[in-house]
Amino acid sequence: MGCSSSLPDRNTGRLGASLEDSASADSKNLRAKLVLLGDSGVGKSCIVLRFVRGQFDPTSKVTVGASFLSQTIALQDSTTVKFEIWDTAGQERYAALAPLYYRGAAVAVVVYDITVPESFNKAQYWVKELQKHGSPGIVMALVGNKADLHESRKVSVQDGVDYAEKNGMFFIETSAKTADNINQLFEEIAKRLPRTS
């Protein structure tokens, strides 16, 4: 891809020492590095901004490199999970950079747009890439976004469910626009995080 040769080497791409390994901290207060991957324009940033700030901005803002945000949620069993979220750019030129962001991640959220079949193919590419190079035991979620646009749906729910099942992923359809299933997505992820105790 493009100019991958000048991008960081896969083996050196590691973001910071402070996130030693995936989920950490004590058993009551978890911390998890989460990375969002997917084609450009599927709504990764919108999902994150809906989750972190409760906002939705319909004007599209192309992410550059990757944005970093964090959000803490409390679960019913009185544990808290602090998500440190890497919202990566979907543009092709940043693809070679992805290892920099997903390396050491405890969670990967792979997003596609239910109205764009190509984005579903791209999602499968990312799943394969994560299976090869992601952290062992990484929690993976497959997310079909823009569920509010059901009248222009091109990727069936069943296709999503089947692919997720085959690859041991958790599947959900969301709408960052209507906020549908956004919190459920992150709560479900939090429940699936390995507890160290």
- The CA–CA distances, whole Å, from 185 to 8, 50, 81, 117 equal 31, 12, 13, 22
x/- binding map, residues 128-167, to another protein, per CB under 8 A?
----------------------------------------
Binders in 87-116 for another protein, by CB under 8 A: 87, 89, 91-94, 97, 100
Q: Contact with another protein (CB under 8 A): which of 34, 35, 36, 49?
A: 49
The count of chain residues that interact with another protein, using the rule CB under 8 A, is 35
Q: Which of 16, 77, 132, 136 binds another protein (CB under 8 A)?
A: 16
Q: Does residue 192 touch another protein according to CB under 8 A?
A: no
Q: How far is CA 58 from CA 45, 55, 146, 177, 186, in A?
A: 11, 10, 12, 8, 22
Site string for another protein, 71-90 (x = CB under 8 A): ----------------x-x-
Under the criterion CB under 8 A, does residue 35 sit at the interface with another protein? Answer: no
Which residues of this chain interact with another protein, rule CB under 8 A? 2-3, 5-8, 12-19, 40, 45, 49, 59, 61-69, 87, 89, 91-94, 97, 100
